[in-house]
Chains A and B, each alone.
Chain A
Amino acid sequence: MVSSDVRNKYKVTIGIECHVQLKTKSKLFSGADNDAKVASPNTLVNHIDFGLPGALPVVNKEAIHLASRAAFALGTQPQLFSKFDRKHYFYPDLPMGYQITQFDLPIVVGGGVAIEVGGEKLVIGVTRAHLEADAGKSIHPPGKDYTLVDLNRAGTPLLEIVSEPDMHSPEEAKAYVQELYLLMKYADVSEANLYYGNMRFDVNVSVSQTDELGTRTETKNLNSFRSVEKAAEYEINRQIELLEKGNTIAQETRGWGEAKQKTLSQRGKEEAHDYRYMPDPDLPPVTLSPEYIDSVKQEMPLMPGQWRDLLEPLGLTFDQIESLIEAEVDHTSISYLSLLKNDLQNKDQVIGTANMMINTEIPLRREGNLPEISGEQRARIYNELDDLLQAKQLSSTAAKSLLGDLLAATDTPEDIKAFAEGKGYIQISDSNEITNFVKSVIADNPKAVEELKAGETKVIGFLVGQVMKLSKGKANPGLAQDLIKQELGL
């Protein structure tokens, strides 16, 4: 680990490439099923995926559509003209001997991703994003001298998003990939399931003491936000240590060892790549009309940045907003943001309702204990809950329990107040009833009453506690306190 003094001598530069698996039903260039998660090896394949001679790839319309949506999510719009190229290299999981990708005229050029790190707002530039076909999956059985290849994933549509080298710390790298994840989820272009590798990150890191960029290394195939941050951190330290010792950095590809939490050189002295790109003669270029681009723009839902702009003026804090924005993608049928924005009867309840979501509904849903009920049902629950709280008929603890009960029911009770009463959540706010409890508590606790009268103000808490006990927890404690003072003439 290098000291912060040494670290501060160096300028860190990070750029990230991200492969996003698009959620099409079929593959990018063939009609094979695109869902390779659980299928047996080599069952979701055909002559196109196998690259048999004479097979003709035809591009999937929906992949173009999803890439166009992604363009808007990245703050730009898709290109009017793009085309496909062949990138040649040899690997057993690439049966054609080339990958179909987009070289000089990709479908997305430019764009940016807004992030906030330590209170500072930044925009990380996007150089480009291009469509390409994924390769197959190689398995290397331990102790064997062979590799096994499954081509189910070959031909899956990927959008590779290439950032500018605009990040300067592991925290910024992590914030960028997190925001990219949210953008892809909100734009609904990918399942973005990190566990299944739907988003994979390659992190390029270099350090330099001058304005000129240092030699970079690329750590490939990271599949979590945390590993992006850790790998960047590790590489920065490793490179600075090497340079401090007077060594040089080898430009190389590295892998991330999750177990050891370090990057490892993957290919030794690699032959400089010569991919011999050429336009793919099998695939006519893609042109998009301004009308089509506009129709995609019209169908775009609100992006996280737009939600932040809408929620900030409502008085929510940064952390509250981020919790809600992250939770929004947990379930397709449960929206927190639109409920807060559109369905509350009382604008003053936004903060209270947001807190109930963050403290109760979101954690319960993440535990997987709640049915997915409709937005109307949930809006009614939150609105009636707010009514009961405003009328001081619910304590905050009771409100939390009541909310849990209501969200757990597939059919929301017609009369929520009656339901709450039945469950014993409604507190007694009737002065006469509480005065009766207060009178008997005063009669039963003469010593405490004397102390209170003598100025031991803390004792009132004890007396309120006794009223709560006597009322089986249902008395409104604020009201009980007022009535005790009133009875004793304090």
Chain B
Amino acid sequence: MAQLTRDDIIRLASLARLDLSDEEITHFSVELSKILDYVEQLQGVDVTGLEPTSQVTGLLNVQRDDEIKSYGYDPIVLLENVPEVEDNQIKVRRVL
């Protein structure tokens, strides 16, 4: 029976850049523990001789030729989704 502590949840939230309320922390420590239990159950399955699965599509080698491609729109429209722009650059809180 897995038991994630409040500290575990706070650390996970900070790695995921999520701001959780006290209530949510309590909620997720229970919920995520249950998910871990499920994973533990999966870990009990005997997988001897099975190749690890890194893809479920069954596809291999989906590749494109090295060509510059226009996707039919001016890249500038991408900046319309950006909260703040200066000189066509994405403006964010200072990081250094």
Point out residues on A near B: beta carbons under 8 Å.
24-26, 30-33, 40-47, 50, 52, 58-64, 83, 88, 90-92, 105, 138-140, 144-151, 271, 274, 276, 279, 281, 283-287
Contacts and interface: CB of A to CB of B under 8 A. Distances in A.
A77 to B, nearest CB: 18
Dominant secondary structure at the A interface: loop
Given A42-B88, A92-B92, A287 B61 contact: yes
A138 B93 CA distance: 11
A36 B87 CA distance: 17
A284 B62 contact: yes
A287 B63 contact: no
A49 B63 CA distance: 17
Contacts of A33: 68
Given A58-B63, A92-B95, A140-B95, A42 B90 contact: yes
B62 A281 contact: no
B57 interface: yes
A61 B54 contact: no
B14 to A, nearest CB: 8
A165 B10 CA distance: 36
B81 to A, nearest CB: 8
Nearest to A275: B15
B89 to A, nearest CB: 4
A46 B75 contact: yes
Nearest to A148: B89
A41 B68 contact: no
A52 B71 CA distance: 14
12 contacts: A32-B69, A42-B88, A43-B75, A45-B75, A91-B95, A140-B96, A147-B94, A147-B95, A148-B90, A148-B92, A149-B92, A150-B90
A347 B60 CA distance: 52
Contacts of A283: 62
> Could you say which of A43, A105, A146, A283 has the most chain B C-beta atoms within 10 Å of its C-beta?
A146
B60 A287 contact: yes
A139 B91 CA distance: 10
B56 A26 contact: no
A90 B75 CA distance: 23
Contacts of B81: 50, 52
A19 B3 CA distance: 41
Interface in B45-82: 54-57, 59-71, 75-76, 78-79, 81
A38 to B, nearest CB: 15
Pick the 8 closest A-B CB pairs, nearest first.
Answer: A31-B69, A62-B66, A148-B89, A284-B59, A279-B54, A149-B90, A92-B92, A61-B63
Contact of B95 (A50, A52, A138, A274): A138
